[in-house]
Amino acid sequence: MLATRPALAQRAIDLSGGASVSSMGLSRVGTTTRTLTGPVLGAEGRIAFKRVELRGRYLEGSLSPESGAFGGAEDLADLRLLLGADVGAGITLSVGPHLRAFVSPGGTASWTRIEANVRVDRTLVPRLARAELEVSYAVSAEANVLGGGTGATGANLGVLFALPTWPVAVRLAYSADQATYASGATEFLDGLEIGLRLRRP
Amino acid sequence: MSARAGRTSLALLALLLSLIGAGSLGAQRVDPLARAMKAYTDLDYDVAAQTFRTALALEGAARLADEDRVRALMHLGATEVFRGRRDAAVVAFRSLIVLDPRFRPDIVVFPPEVSTLYQESRIGVRATSVLVPATANIRTVADRLPIRIFSASLHDVRVTITDGLGAPVRVMYDGAVGDSLDLLWNGRDGLGRLREEGRYKLRVTSRSFEGRDEREVEIPLTLLRVATDTLPWPAELQQNAFRPETLITTEGRKYLATGIVAAALVAVLPAVVGSDNEGSTLRFGVAALLGAGGVFGLKRASRPIAIAENMTWNRERRAAYAREIDRIRAENDVRRASNGLRITSGAPVIVVLP
């Protein structure tokens, strides 16, 4: 997102958006271990006014059991909204709701979290690439299965290629998210994401 | 104060007041038609007619100014109407019409029989008056000397510009004029060439229906070449007018550190979020990319980095400067080619042709 900073400095309201495709894997470890993988499509948007920003991201995809595993496929739907502030030095602090649902023929497992988020942007190659690190911590995590949720932590780290004169940036990132149920079960979701970001020229 | 001193002061005061009074009287204009006008208002028309004619006959320094001649002729005509001498009135009115074709009697001052006879007297009087500004500047091809011609009655008029010797330079108009005619002269001859400096004449010739030249109004024109100001060149573009086209950064090590730390973080990200899961091995590709990016950032920081948008901005700035130079050069070429003229006009002279 920092690739858009020069434009942000010139304009009162900065708009950007993007789309991504991920190859995600879900590993749920409890009394049994269940692993699913599959493609996930995503869309994201950002509106910023001076140092304040509102970001949103939606992911949806179908995860299928790896060969040999039992059980059916699950559909993933994930929505996150973050209201944040740029505190300088390339650091943005945000907070917002994070909703996630795994829909299967047997029912829907859903998460409702309030997450605190820290994003750090650093130049990797001047005027060409930036490194983006994002860490989320759930200050509140609720789940409707396995006795409810007790906590969740997530991180996303990637590289953003963006030429200053181009309105399009390419992003490659790896994300990982671990959630814990009250029953002691864990749910680990990770994946590789390739995306495009567009900003208002 | 003694009585004698008081008398002396009073005498000085009286002398001073008398001097001031004399000065005030001397500043007032003496009306050369005062006697004639008094006789006219006293209805002593014989004396008025004689006195107006005497005033109109004055020549040399005593010659009446044009506005006084107009007034004298109008009142002489009216006087002759009141004396029952219609022909003499027409002669006076026609002299007035020749002198000033635009003149119209004031219907509040003069009775209808006088105004009517005046209007009738205009018929057949082939005379014009010509108005041109005292000075006109011909700087561009669009500049002109405006010429306005007023006609006493419908008749043929030829308007020409001649040089000082009378040779025709340009025929501006040749045809009938009913009331007025507006013309524009651009300081050029019939072939479109800008005339040289010198003395010229604007001639407005009134012609009879048979084509005979009867009367002419001549206005002397003086043409003076005026060096046209050219536009100055714009100030040279200074170095600080441009944006830097390259970026030299000294933070190469920081980029390298960012790449290495980010690569390491990606490699251990599952553990960072508290998972025992190995995670996707694809993340090592991202880690490699981040590490390579850091190395590339270090290398790139050691040499100037072109700033494309600044180069574009500077290029447009230079192009705009070049366009401005071209515009000024073209404008100055036009201005030098036009070499402006200043046309000064003199007082009109009425010539009755034989």
Q: What is the pLDDT of residues A160-190, one digit of tens each?
A: 998 877 888 999 999 999 999 888 888 898 9
Residue B10 has pLDDT above 60, yes or no: no
Can you tell me the distance from the alpha carbon of A33 to that of A35, in angstroms, rounded to the nearest whole number?
7
Q: What percent of chain B has pLDDT over 70?
A: 91
Which whole number is the average pLDDT over B235-263?
85
- Interchain pair A164, B308: CB under 8 A: yes
DSSP E strands, B12-167: 128-131, 135-138, 145-151, 155-163
Q: Between these two residues, B247 and B119, which has the higher pLDDT value?
A: B119
- A95 at interface of B, judged by CB pairs closer than 8 A: no
Share the mean pLDDT of chain B. Answer: 86
Amino acid at B281: T
User: pLDDT digits over B66-113, tens only?
Assistant: 899 999 999 999 999 999 999 999 999 999 998 888 899 998 999 999
Can you tell me the distance from the alpha carbon of A4 to that of A165, in angstroms, rounded to the nearest whole number?
10
- B294 at interface of A, judged by CB pairs closer than 8 A: yes
Residue B154 has pLDDT above 80, yes or no: yes
Taking the CA of residue A178 and the nearest CA in chain B, the distance in Å comes to 6
Query: Tell me, what DSSP letter sits at residue B194?
Result: B
Taking the CA of residue A23 and the nearest CA in chain B, the distance in Å comes to 9
Q: Out of A126, A127, A158, whose CB is closest to B286? A: A158
Two tokens, residue B236: 């040279």
Closest CA to A83 of A52, A112, A118, A121: A52
Q: Is B237 helix (H, G, I), strand (E, B) or coil?
A: coil
**Residues of A with Cβ-Cβ distance to B308 under 8 angstroms:** 163-165
Residue B288 has pLDDT above 70, yes or no: yes
Residue B32 has pLDDT above 90, yes or no: no
Half-sphere exposure of B174 (CA within 13 A, CB side): 6
**Residues of B with Cβ-Cβ distance to A153 under 8 angstroms:** 272-274
Q: Between these two residues, B21 and B121, which has the higher pLDDT value?
A: B121
pLDDT of residue A106: 83
CB B104 within 8 A of CB B119: no
Taking the CA of residue A34 and the nearest CA in chain B, the distance in Å comes to 12
For residue A186, list its beta bridge partners. Answer: A29, A180
Residue B329 has pLDDT above 50, yes or no: yes
| Residue in B with minimal Cα distance to A136 | B273
Q: Between these two residues, B227 and B273, which has the higher pLDDT value?
A: B273
Query: Tell me, what DSSP letter sits at residue B143?
Result: -
CB B252 within 8 A of CB B298: yes
CA A57, A58, A60: angle at the middle one, nearest 5? 150
Name the packing angle between helices B34-41 and B45-57 (round to 10°).
160
**Residues of B with Cβ-Cβ distance to A33 under 8 angstroms:** none
Residues 6+ apart with CB under 8 A from A73: A36, A38, A62, A63, A64, A65, A104
Is this model's pTM higher than 0.90 or not? Answer: no
